[in-house]
Structure 1
Amino acid sequence: MQQVRNYYAILGVSREATNEEIKKSFRKLARQYHPDVNPGDKTAEDKFKDINEAYNTLSDETTRAEYDLRLFGKGKRRPGQGRGTIPRNGNGAKDYSQDYDFWRFKDYSPGTSKRAKVVNPSLAGRRDVEAKLTLPLEKAYRGGRERIRLEDGRSLEVEMPPAMSDGQKIRLKGQGLDGGDLYLKITIAVHPFFELQGTDIFCRIPVTPTEAILGEAVEVPTIDGLVKMTVPKGVRSGQRLRLANKGYPDSNGNRGDQLVEISIAIPVEISPEELELYQKIREKETFNPRKNLL
């Protein structure tokens, strides 16, 4: 019998952990092991896949209950958790189902973050299958080929469309069990720099005190690459600037904006020449930020 991996241990939480505790631990680990933070580090990449696989299972009450039965044995299901089904035709307000027939079988190596479960078991003969697929933000935005491993041992390579949204479902006709369909539910992984807010993308950019006072054109990362943004003179820490049409596309292809929050960074170490200049500025400056505190 194949040994069941302990997803609780992977996320560093107890079996009794709440959904909020699981989410908090996942976000912390996702930031730590994200491929963008550890470029070229295969160990970190595998760890990132493991924690996404664990979170996909434990963040959903139904799949968590089913997983507990496999890990802890019969009778270990937590009260109030039952089995759920997903409509075969993908009905629902947040279900942007699409049909894709361009698939093919591929060999697949272990250590993936993809997981599948059978739904609609009551249908005679054919059964639909749902699989969760976790993608980095950039991959969800650009689309492209992605592989997924199913519980029955099959492995499929799918050409994913661009601009996929969190919670979106994609249907692969006839790739379930006995002629049923396969539904891929997309989850966008936590990004260490960008944060999706609807179709807007939020980020924080550090600037130097002189850049904030004098204004400057600085480079800002976007999901399309680096762009130049003009920081106005006298910008305040916490002030938000907007890069129009640099957000995430909606279902109609209309893009949101990128919201850039300014953070004034103070240097930890400065040269003697810089220190001398700052001392001269202090002798001449008239600005007092504490003048009207009371």
Structure 2
Amino acid sequence: MAGETSTTMSAKRAREVLGAGPLAGPAELRRAFREAAKRAHPDRKGGDAERFREVVEAYHILQTAPAPRDRVSQPPATVARPMAASPTLAVPPLIAMTGGKVEHRLPDGRRVKIDLPPGMRAGDTVRAGNAELEVAIRGDGEMMVRGDDLWITVKIEPRLLAEGGRIGVETPLGRRVVWLTKKAGERGLIRLVGQGLPSRGRHRQGHLFLRLAADSVTSDSAARAQLRRFAAAWAA
């Protein structure tokens, strides 16, 4: 029937109408909608009323559609420690990454130091005396291990998060200079391929994820410096 509005557009079709990828988040969808609506608006040259209606419908559908499952989901700031049936050996993320010595108290009360190789994973087992211990990697929210990957929270100047730019980050492998895109700033996440936990036995080489957080201290300092410059110029 003429003039009938279709209400059966699928989420896949809606993304095609907007030109948005399957993993586009809310901010990317808004940008895609604005661009598509601008091109299709009937008041513009080359615009079309039916295509504009389709763009609006597509955006409404995607606003209510379930969020797409990303290839990477960020772990929580703190990770619950599961109860293990066998005695556990608590290993910090940095030792899991680079290897080193950890201290452990045996059932008889003696304390021993255990030398671990690089690339330990949760669930691996090691021997200490006559005891077999299951590795439990205990992060603190700022640094944690998830599977084969190492996650580090880094503080970034708010301006760089919004605009992007080059940043220097201290990692267990040394200082890394990476380029922060606006998209990465919006997501608050950068992945450095192949720079996580090293491969070991059946475990693959992991990645390093930088979880970005606004550095309020840097922001406050910059604001105070700007205020001082303004006050000095005003008093001159």
Q: What TM-score do you get using the length of structure 2 for normalisation?
A: 0.49
The higher radius of gyration belongs to 2
Q: What TM-score do you get using the length of structure 1 for normalisation?
A: 0.41
